[in-house]
Chains A and B, each alone.
Chain A
Amino acid sequence: QKEVEQDPGPLSVPEGAIVSLNCTYSNSAFQYFMWYRQYSRKGPELLMYTYSSGNKEDGRFTAQVDKSSKYISLFIRDSQPSDSATYLCAMSAGYGGATNKLIFGTGTLLAVQP
């Protein structure tokens, strides 16, 4: 079993839809939870990060972490064609050194249709 599981999609939605992306994990040592966005032929770029459990909102994006269920989510409201990309969840135990290592999900390919 992988440490981080993510549905690879692809996920196709109409413009304006609410998108829900999810990951589950097995390692209870993970403290930092991140969502990266990767456009085609580009490197991943950080979209949001959350420490421990709870919600975090940034514009149209909301990240949720439920450590008791080992489940994280990213919601995108009013999705736009420019949101079309691969979304990668990532996690780490944090606190420097080897724990800087990020464990990634396989990524979900999202297409927002105009």
Chain B
Amino acid sequence: EAQVTQNPRYLITVTGKKLTVTCSQNMNHEYMSWYRQDPGLGLRQIYYSMNVEVTDKGDVPEGYKVSRKEKRNFPLILESPSPNQTSLYFCASSGLGAYNEQFFGPGTRLTVL
């Protein structure tokens, strides 16, 4: 089954404790992206990657890091989480080209105390 998976689905942590949210896709997509979803603000892009070892900032990259060492994986790293990073996070992937549907993962609900 073609899908984007994320882990963990739910996470409660404390300020400053480094964490990683994993994202994996099995569709051989070049493009991967992380979004956060907040009430009243909708989905906003954090980082994206066009291929292995190629990453770039989205609209709200502060406090986040990503890496793309393999085509299928695109982890999101919060090195020192803060309460304002409490949010619902989605990973998405698509092919490149004129138009390609972005497929979303199931989401990770993160709470930073």
User: Do A101 and B33 touch (CB < 8 A)?
Assistant: yes
Q: Name the B residues within 8 Å of A92 (CB-CB).
A: 99
**B35-49 Cβ-contact flags toward A at 8 Å (1 or 0):** 100001111110010
> Which segment of B14-22, B66-74, B79-87, B100-108 sits at the interface?
B100-108
- A8 CB to closest chain B CB (Å) equals 7
User: Do B99 and A49 touch (CB < 8 A)?
Assistant: yes
Chain A interface residue count, Cβ-Cβ cutoff 8 angstroms: 28
User: Do B40 and A42 touch (CB < 8 A)?
Assistant: no
User: Do B42 and A88 touch (CB < 8 A)?
Assistant: yes
User: Do A101 and B48 touch (CB < 8 A)?
Assistant: yes
Known contacts being A98-B48, A100-B94, A101-B58, is A46 close to B43, with CB within 8 Å?
A: no
Measured in the bound complex, the distance between the Cα atoms of B43 and A106 in whole Å is 7
Measured in the bound complex, the distance between the Cα atoms of B43 and A92 in whole Å is 14
Nearest residue (CB) in B for A92 is B99
Q: Name the A residues within 8 Å of B97 (CB-CB).
A: 95-96
User: Do B102 and A46 touch (CB < 8 A)?
Assistant: yes
Known contacts being A97-B50, A101-B48, is A107 close to B42, with CB within 8 Å?
A: yes
Q: Name the A residues within 8 Å of B50 (CB-CB).
A: 96-97, 100
Pick the contact of B96: A32, A44, A100, A101 (CB < 8 A).
Answer: A100
List chain A positions with a Cβ less than 8 A from chain B.
4, 6, 8, 32, 36, 41-46, 49, 51, 88, 90, 92, 94-98, 100-102, 104-107
Minimum-distance CB pairs A-B, first 9: A43-B104, A106-B42, A96-B96, A104-B43, A104-B42, A44-B104, A43-B106, A32-B99, A46-B101
List chain B positions with a Cβ less than 8 A from chain A.
4, 31, 33, 35, 40-45, 48, 50, 56, 58, 90, 92, 94, 96-102, 104-107
